[in-house]
C-alpha cells in the first residue's frame, strides 16, 4: 500500500476516525487499533512477512524484560547479543546471504574450484532494514540502562510496527517514540492541520519531482553509451533530485501522517542540498540512519576518543556500513567509501563541525562563497549518486567516463519537458524559502489572509493533478 495510492487515501481516514472515536476508551485501545492497522498495512505487501515482525517483536520484548531481572553483566551481554543475532540474522538471511555466497563462489571459481552451492530464492521483505534497526535500538538502550523495559506488549508492538514509518523510516529510537504510546493522546487540531500540510508537501515532492525525474533518469541510465556527456551529467543531477524528492517526500508523508494521531516523529531530512560541505550534508541527509550509526556503531567503537587514527578508522567503518546497509551490492559499498573520502579531509583539518547553522541564516540570499560551497558539495554528491544508481561498478565507471568526455561540452541530446524544469524551479524556490523549518511549506502563508493561504494549498493540489509523473515505487522500499 503506497502513500500516494487510492488504497491509502481510503485506509488513512478510516484509521484516523476510528482512532479518535476510541479516545474515550483509553490509550491501550487506541494502540490496539494502530497495531491492527499497521499489521494490515504491512500485510498488504505480503502477509507472510508479518511473522518476521511479530517474531522480532516478541524476542526483543522478552529480552527487555529479562534484562530488567538480571544484574550480572555476563547474562546481560548474552541477552543483548541474542537480540542482535536474531535481528541481524534475519537481515543477513534475507538481504545479504546471496551477496556473500555469490562473492565466495566467484572467489573459488577464480582459483579453479567452483562451489556447487545454490543461492536462496527469497523475496526481500519490505522495510526490513528499517524496523530491524528500530527494534534493536530498544534492546541496546535497555541494556545500557537508558530506558526502562516495558511490560506493555501492545505499546511495544505498536512502536515496532507503527505504519507511517514502518517500511521506510524515519528510524525511531525507543527512547523517543515508545513513551508516546504510554501517554494519553488527545486530538490537536492545529497539529493535525500541520500534519496535512506536511503530507501535501511530501506528495508534491514524490509525484511531481521524483516521479517526473525518474522517467528521464531511467532513459539515460538504461543506455548511457547512447548519450552525450552533458546528457549523462543532467541524468545524474536528475537522479539526485529524484532520490531526494522520493525519500524525503516519503519521510514528510510519514511524519505528517503520524501527527494526525498526535504522535511526533523526528525530522529525517533538513534540506541537505543546501549544505556547504559533505559533513553538513550528512548531518542533514537521512538523519535517523546517520545518528543511529553514530550512537550504536561510531561511539561504541571509541568515537573520537582514541586519537586521530582510531577516529579515522571509525568514520570509515560507519560510511562503509552505511553503504552496505542500503543494499547487497558493491556499488553501495563504493558509494559509502566515496563519501568517506569526501569526509576525511574535513575530519583531518578539524573542519567537519564548521557549518552547524542554516545557510544564509536570516538572509534572503547566500553569499558568493556560500553559493559555490553549495554548488561544489552538490556536485560531489551527484557524482557519488552514479554508483548508487548503477547496477554494477562497471556501469558506473562507464557512466562517469561518459560524463568526463569531450561530449560534456555538447548540448544534451535529450531533455525532459519544459514543465518539469518549471516544477523543479518552484520546488527549489519553496525549499529555499522554508529551509529553516521542519519542511518547506511549514510556515509559508501562515500569516496570509485565509483566502490567499488556501489558494496556495489548492494550487499545489492542482499542480499535483496536472503534472504528476508516471507512478514509481518508492526507492527506499528496496532497502
Give the closest residue to 278 by CA, choosing from 313, 315, 241, 225: 315
Residue for grid cell 557549518: 355
- Mean pLDDT lowest among 9-18, 131-140, 466-475: 466-475
The model's pLDDT over 195-211, given as tens digits with 9 standing for 90+, comes to: 999 999 999 999 999 99
Could you count the other beta carbons within 10 Å of the beta carbon of residue 111?
A: 7
The pLDDT, as a whole number, for residue 99 is 85
Q: Is 326 a catalytic residue?
A: yes
Half-sphere exposure of 45 (CA within 13 A, CB side): 20
pTM beyond 0.85, yes or no: yes
Give the ranges where 92-188 is alpha helix by DSSP (H). 97-110, 128-143, 153-161, 174-177
Rounded Cα distance, 405 and 402, in Å: 5
The model's pLDDT over 82-125, given as tens digits with 9 standing for 90+, comes to: 999 999 999 998 888 888 887 777 776 766 667 667 767 777 88
The pLDDT, as a whole number, for residue 100 is 82
Tell me phi and psi for residue 358, to 5 degrees. Answer: -80, 145
The pLDDT, as a whole number, for residue 473 is 79
Band of residue 241 on the pLDDT scale cut at 50, 70, 90: very high
- Mean pLDDT lowest among 91-105, 290-304, 439-453: 91-105
Residues 6+ apart with CB under 8 A from 75: none
Q: Express the helix, strand and coil content of the chain in percent, nearest 5 each.
A: 70, 0, 30
Contact 367, 267 (CB under 8 A): no
Mean pLDDT of the residues in the chain? 93
Which is the catalytic residue, given 326, 352, 355, 358? 326
Residue 449 pLDDT greater than 80, yes or no = yes
The ranges assigned to domains in the chain are 6-187, 190-276+355-478
> What average pLDDT score do residues 398-408 get?
95
The pLDDT, as a whole number, for residue 47 is 86
The answer to whether the peptide bond before residue 170 is cis (omega within 30 degrees of 0) is: yes
- Tell me how long the chain is: 479
The model's pLDDT over 156-190, given as tens digits with 9 standing for 90+, comes to: 999 999 999 998 889 999 999 999 999 999 999 99
Residue 373 pLDDT greater than 70, yes or no = yes
Amino acid at each position: 500500500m503506497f502513500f500516494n495510492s487510492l488504497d491509502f487515501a481510503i485506509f488513512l481516514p478510516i484509521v484516523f476516525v476510528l482512532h479518535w472515536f476510541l479516545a474515550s476508551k483509553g490509550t491501550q485501545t487506541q494502540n490496539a487499533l494502530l497495531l491492527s492497522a499497521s499489521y494490515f498495512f504491512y500485510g498488504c505487501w505480503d502477509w507472510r512477512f508479518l511473522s518476521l515482525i511479530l517474531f522480532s517483536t516478541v524476542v526483543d520484548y522478552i529480552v527487555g524484560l529479562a534484562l530488567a531481572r538480571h544484574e550480572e553483566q555476563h547474562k546481560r551481554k548474552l541477552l543483548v547479543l541474542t537480540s542482535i543475532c536474531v535481528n541481524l540474522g534475519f537481515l543477513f538471511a534475507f538481504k545479504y546471504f546471496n551477496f556473500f555466497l555469490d562473492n565466495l563462489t566467484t572467489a573459488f571459481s577464480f582459483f579453479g574450484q567452483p562451489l556447487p552451492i545454490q543461492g536462496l530464492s527469497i523475496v526481500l521483505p519490505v522495510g526490513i532494514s528499517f524496523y530491524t534497526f528500530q527494534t534493536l535500538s530498544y534492546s541496546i538502550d535497555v541494556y545500557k540502562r537508558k530506558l526502562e523495559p516495558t511490560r506493555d506488549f501492545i505499546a511495544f508492538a505498536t512502536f515496532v510496527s507503527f505504519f507511517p514509518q514502518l517500511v521506510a523510516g524515519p528510524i525511531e529510537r525507543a527512547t523517543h517514540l515508545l513513551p508516546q504510546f504510554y501517554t494519553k493522546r488527545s486530538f490537536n487540531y492545529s497539529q493535525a492541520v500541520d500534519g496535512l500540510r506536511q503530507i501535501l508537501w511530501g506528495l508534491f515532492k514524490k509525484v511531481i519531482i521524483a516521479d517526473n525525474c525518474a522517467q528521464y533518469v531511467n532513459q539515460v541510465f538504461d543506455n548511457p553509451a547512447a548519450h552525450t556527456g552533458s546528457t549523462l551529467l543532467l541524468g545524474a543531477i536528475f537522479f539526485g533530485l529524484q532520490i531526494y524528492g522520493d525519500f524525503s517526500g516519503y519521510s514528510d508523508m510519514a511524519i505528517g501522517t503520524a501527527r494526525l494521531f498526535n504522535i511526533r516523529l523526528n525530522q529525517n531530512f533538513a534540506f541537505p542540498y543546501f549544505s556547504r560541505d559533505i559533513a553538513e550534508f550528512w548531518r542533514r541527509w537521512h538523519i535517523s540512519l546517520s545518528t543511529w550509526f553514530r550512537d550504536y556503531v561510531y561511539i561504541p567503537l571509541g568515537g573520537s576518543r582514541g586519537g586521530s587514527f582510531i577516529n579515522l578508522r571509525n568514520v570509515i567503518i560507519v560510511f562503509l556500513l552505511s553503504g552496505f546497509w542500503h543494499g547487497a551490492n558493491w556499488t553501495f559499498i563504493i558509494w559509502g567509501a566515496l563519501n568517506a573520502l569526501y569526509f576525511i579531509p574535513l575530519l583531518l583539518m578539524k573542519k567537519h563541525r564548521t557549518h552547524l547553522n542554516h545557510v544564509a541564516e536570516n538572509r534572503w540570499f547566500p553569499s558568493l562563497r556560500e553559493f559555490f560551497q553549495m554548488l561544489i558539495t552538490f556536485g560531489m554528491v551527484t557524482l557519488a549518486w552514479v554508483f548508487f544508481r548503477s547496477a554494477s561498478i562497471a556501469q558506473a565507471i562507464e557512466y562517469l567516463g561518459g560524463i568526463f568526455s569531450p561530449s560534456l561540452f555538447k548540448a544534451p541530446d535529450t531533455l525532459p519537458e519544459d514543465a518539469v524544469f518549471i516544477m523543479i524551479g518552484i520546488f527549489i524556490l519553496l525549499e529555499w524559502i522554508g529551509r529553516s523549518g521542519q519542511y518547506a511549506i511549514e510556515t509559508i502563508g501562515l500569516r496570509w489572509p485565509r483566502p490567499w493561504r488556501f489558494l496556495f494549498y489548492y494550487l499545489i493540489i492542482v499542480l499535483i493533478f496536472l503534472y504528476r509523473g508516471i507512478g514509481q515505487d518508492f526507492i527506499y522500499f528496496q532497502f
